[in-house]
């Protein structure tokens, strides 16, 4: 868990996915809803602003080759967005992260900005106070 409020949370993905894709986060709506259109317009705006803030922080601190955004929920029908920093050195680039690996990713490629990114995302309370997520 990186950040949480009454409406949503931002988590860094753990386990093997985190090792393969160190800049992999999820923005998860707290209430159990399955689809984007289950949210009100105001709730959609709040979720989208959190998604935007997460992507901006990932881009600023990790400088990825590309950022992938996905909202699938086929296996877990709970509204959430994947925010995935992609690098030309990762094991599946340019294919989706769920595709078969094309190469072995160098283990020393962990982005140096990961600690700063964690701090930036944890500061989302400041963004709320300024109305960024409101």
Question: Strand 3-4 relative to strand 8-12: parallel, antiparallel, unpaired?
Answer: antiparallel
pLDDT in tens, 63-100: 999 999 999 888 888 999 999 999 999 999 999 999 99
Q: Where does the chain show beta strands of DSSP type E?
A: 3-4, 8-12, 24-29, 66-70, 80-86
Give the integer Cα–Cα distance in Å for 83 and 119.
17
Residue 134 pLDDT level (bands cut at 50, 70, 90): very low
Taking only the tens place, the pLDDT of each residue in 22-53 is 899 999 999 999 999 999 999 999 999 999 99
- pLDDT at site 22: 86
Of residues 91 and 128, more confidently modeled? 91
The CATH T-level fold of domain 3-129 is HIT family, subunit A (3.30.428)
Q: Is the pLDDT of residue 129 over 70?
A: no
């Amino acid at each position: 868990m990186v950040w949480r409020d009454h409406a949503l949370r931002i988590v860094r993905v753990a386990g093997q996915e985190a090792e393969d894709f160190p800049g992999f986060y999820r923005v998860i709506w707290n209430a159990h809803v399955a689809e984007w259109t289950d949210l009100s317009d105001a709730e959609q705006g709040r979720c989208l602003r959190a998604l935007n803030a997460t992507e901006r922080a990932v881009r600023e601190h990790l400088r990825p080759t590309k950022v992938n955004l996905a909202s699938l929920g086929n296996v877990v029908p709970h509204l959430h967005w994947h925010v995935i920093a992609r690098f030309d050195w990762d094991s599946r680039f340019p294919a989706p992260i769920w595709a078969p690996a094309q190469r072995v990713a160098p283990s020393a490629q962990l982005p140096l900005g990961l600690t700063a990114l964690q701090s930036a995302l944890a500061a989302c309370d400041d963004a709320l106070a300024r109305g960024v997520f409101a």
